[in-house]
């Protein structure tokens, strides 16, 4: 706000009745026309202050002086105080006025304390208010009574702006540029912004650091610059790289990515063979699973034996590698019927004889005699074929 210190602009809150300070005659002499003999003690005290002011080079006439320090009635404090230097806050009451006898600065005490109103020796100097704001509009400093033509100066600590995830900020000056004061002015702090950089760390599944990327700009998409990481296979499974956790995205802070893998359980070929080595069934079975064969293997009977499935050549165990199981059979010796017959009489004896055993012929006494004919007599001579180990059913 512009202020012009002249005449009644300065409102001091005084206890003095200034209306009867004597007859004043306007002329070039600042003290001419003053009737000192009619002054009251209070008026005399004011006049003596004026004399000091004039002796120090002040150029106001006594009439202008009185108009300048004239106060309003009805205030709590109505005293004119003087001293050397600015008034202390504990001095005076609301409504009091104060003159600094060294600088001739004039103050009035308001509800918020003493406020400088101007200088009695330089009543025509215009003053303005200069405000210093931070980037967000926060008031950093407010300078009142800045004289016209002077260069404003910020008296606080260098402004700072809190870095955010995207930028680091460094104070760069004020906008607009500082120049001589000609009116109320507002200056706003300016900052240079530099992109924040972050560290991106790439780790394998076990926490081993694979790569560290430093000074990665905010907003950039980080990249892993080596061959895809690997994970050693285990007895039961293999691993294939499948990506990173979390999903790679724009950099907004320091970030660590962990390699992830697709786990695949190992499978092995399990074969089931018949006793002769022929393939009954085969399958790729998962590590740790139990071998399974559906059905019952069979083996065709031969002349000597009939076969019954007994089991496998070894117990089933959880799959840990390729395996072969072979069928095992129980065998039973075949039996054949051997029939002994006599011509004309039919069956003499029939019995079951195991394969490979020699049948025992009936006793000769049990063999019926053959009746004689007119020309021939018959006696038992033997059997129509050689008795030998059984290789199948036969008649004798």
Q: What is the pLDDT of residue 329?
A: 97
Q: What is the pLDDT of residue 148?
A: 85
Rounded distance, CA 153 to CA 66, Å?
A: 34
pLDDT, tens only, 81-102: 888 999 999 888 887 888 888 8
Q: Give the residue-averaged pLDDT of 170-177.
A: 95
Phi, psi of 68 (to 5 degrees): -70, -40
pLDDT, tens only, 234-272: 999 999 999 999 999 999 999 999 999 999 999 999 999
Of 41 and 306, more confident: 306
pLDDT, tens only, 368-386: 888 788 888 788 878 888 8
Q: Where are the alpha helices (DSSP H) in the chain?
A: 41-55, 62-69
Q: What is the pLDDT of residue 280?
A: 96
Rounded distance, CA 77 to CA 82, Å?
A: 14
Rounded distance, CA 302 to CA 334, Å?
A: 9
Q: What is the pLDDT of residue 306?
A: 96
**Cβ-contact 66, 18 below 8 angstroms:** yes
Q: Give the residue-averaged pLDDT of 283-307.
A: 95
Rounded distance, CA 40 to CA 78, Å?
A: 17
Exposure of 279 by Cβ count < 10 A (0-12 exposed, 13-18 middle, 19+ buried)? exposed
Residue 30 — very low, low, confident or very high, per pLDDT cuts 50/70/90? low
CA distances from 389 to 340, 354, 357 (A): 15, 9, 5
Q: Give the residue-averaged pLDDT of 149-154.
A: 87
Which range (12-16, 204-208, 315-319) has the least confidence?
12-16
* Domain 126-195 shares a fold with domain 197-265: yes
Give the pair of three-digit tokens for residue 214. Answer: 């430093």
> Is the whole-model pTM more than 0.75?
no
Look-up of token digits 């017959």? 341
**Cβ-contact 16, 42 below 8 angstroms:** yes
Q: What is the pLDDT of residue 251?
A: 94
Q: What is the pLDDT of residue 228?
A: 93
Give the pair of three-digit tokens for residue 383. Answer: 């059997």
Q: What is the number of other CB atoms lying within 10 angstroms of the CB of residue 390?
A: 22
For the CA atoms of 205, 206, 209, 214, what is the dihedral angle to 10 degrees?
50
Greatest mean pLDDT range, 36-50, 90-104, 266-280: 266-280
Percent of the chain whose predicted confidence (pLDDT) is above 70: 86
- Domain extents in the chain: 3-119, 126-195, 197-265, 267-333, 335-395
Question: In CATH, which superfamily holds the domain spanning 267-333?
Answer: Listeria-Bacteroides repeat domain (2.60.40.4270)
Q: What is the pLDDT of residue 19?
A: 31
Q: What is the pLDDT of residue 31?
A: 55
The CATH number assigned to the domain with range 126-195 reads: 2.60.40.4270
Which is nearest to 337 in space by CA: 351, 358, 323, 347? Answer: 351
Phi, psi of 44 (to 5 degrees): -65, -40
Give yes or no for residue 323 having a pLDDT over 70: yes
Q: What is the pLDDT of residue 165?
A: 84
Q: What is the pLDDT of residue 4?
A: 38
Q: What is the pLDDT of residue 28?
A: 33
* 89 Cα distance to chain centroid: 54
Question: In CATH, which superfamily holds the domain spanning 197-265?
Answer: Listeria-Bacteroides repeat domain (2.60.40.4270)
Give yes or no for residue 209 having a pLDDT over 90: yes
CA distances from 114 to 98, 101, 108, 229 (A): 9, 16, 6, 74
Q: What is the number of other CB atoms lying within 10 angstroms of the CB of residue 215?
A: 8
Helix (H, G, I), strand (E, B) or coil at 2: coil
| Mean pLDDT of all residues belonging to the chain | 84
**Cβ-contact 43, 70 below 8 angstroms:** no
Residue 324, phi-psi category: left (phi > 0), alpha (psi -120 to 50), beta (remainder): beta
Give yes or no for residue 36 having a pLDDT over 90: no
Q: Angle at Cα 338 formed by Cα 337 and Cα 344, nearest 5°?
A: 125
Q: Give the residue-averaged pLDDT of 225-239.
A: 95
Q: Give the residue-averaged pLDDT of 268-281.
A: 96
Give yes or no for residue 29 having a pLDDT over 90: no
């Amino acid at each position: 706000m512009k202020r012009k210190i002249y005449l009644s602009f300065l409102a001091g809150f005084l206890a003095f009745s200034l209306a009867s300070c004597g007859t004043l005659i306007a002329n070039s002499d600042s003290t001419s026309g003053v009737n000192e003999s009619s002054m009251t003690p209070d008026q005399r005290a004011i006049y003596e202050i004026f004399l000091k002011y004039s002796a120090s080079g002040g150029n106001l006439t006594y009439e202008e002086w009185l108009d300048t320090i004239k106060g309003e009635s009805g205030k709590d404090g109505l005293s004119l105080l003087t001293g050397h230097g600015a008034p202390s806050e504990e001095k005076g009451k609301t409504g009091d006025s104060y003159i600094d006898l060294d600088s001739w600065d004039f103050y009035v005490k308001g509800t918020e304390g003493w406020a400088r109103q101007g200088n009695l020796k330089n009543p025509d100097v215009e003053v303005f208010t200069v405000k210093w704001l931070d980037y967000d509009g926060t008031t950093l400093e407010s300078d009142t009574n800045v004289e016209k033509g002077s260069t404003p100066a910020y008296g606080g600590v260098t402004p700072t702006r809190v870095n955010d995830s995207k930028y680091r900020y460094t104070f760069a000056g004020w906008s607009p540029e500082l120049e001589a004061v000609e009116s109320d002015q507002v200056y706003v702090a300016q900052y240079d912004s530099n992109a924040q950089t972050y560290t991106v760390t790439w780790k394998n599944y076990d926490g081993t650091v694979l790569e560290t990327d430093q000074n990665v700009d905010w907003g950039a998409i980080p990249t892993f610059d080596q061959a895809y990481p690997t994970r050693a296979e285990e007895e039961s499974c293999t691993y294939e790289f499948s990506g990173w956790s979390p999903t790679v995205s724009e950099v907004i802070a320091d970030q660590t990515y962990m390699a992830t893998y697709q786990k695949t359980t190992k499978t092995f070929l399990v074969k089931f063979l018949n006793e002769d080595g022929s393939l009954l069934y085969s399958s790729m079975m998962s590590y740790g699973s139990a071998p399974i064969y559906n059905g019952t293997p069979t083996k065709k009977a031969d002349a000597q034996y009939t076969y019954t499935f007994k089991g496998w050549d070894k117990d089933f165990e959880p799959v840990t590698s390729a395996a072969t199981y072979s069928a095992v059979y129980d065998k039973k010796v075949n039996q054949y019927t051997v029939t002994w017959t006599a011509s004309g009489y039919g069956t003499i004896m029939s019995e079951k004889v195991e394969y490979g055993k020699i049948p025992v012929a009936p006793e000769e006494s049990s063999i019926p005699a053959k009746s004689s004919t007119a020309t021939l007599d018959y006696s038992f001579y033997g059997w129509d074929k050689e008795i030998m180990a059984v290789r199948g059913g036969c008649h004798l």
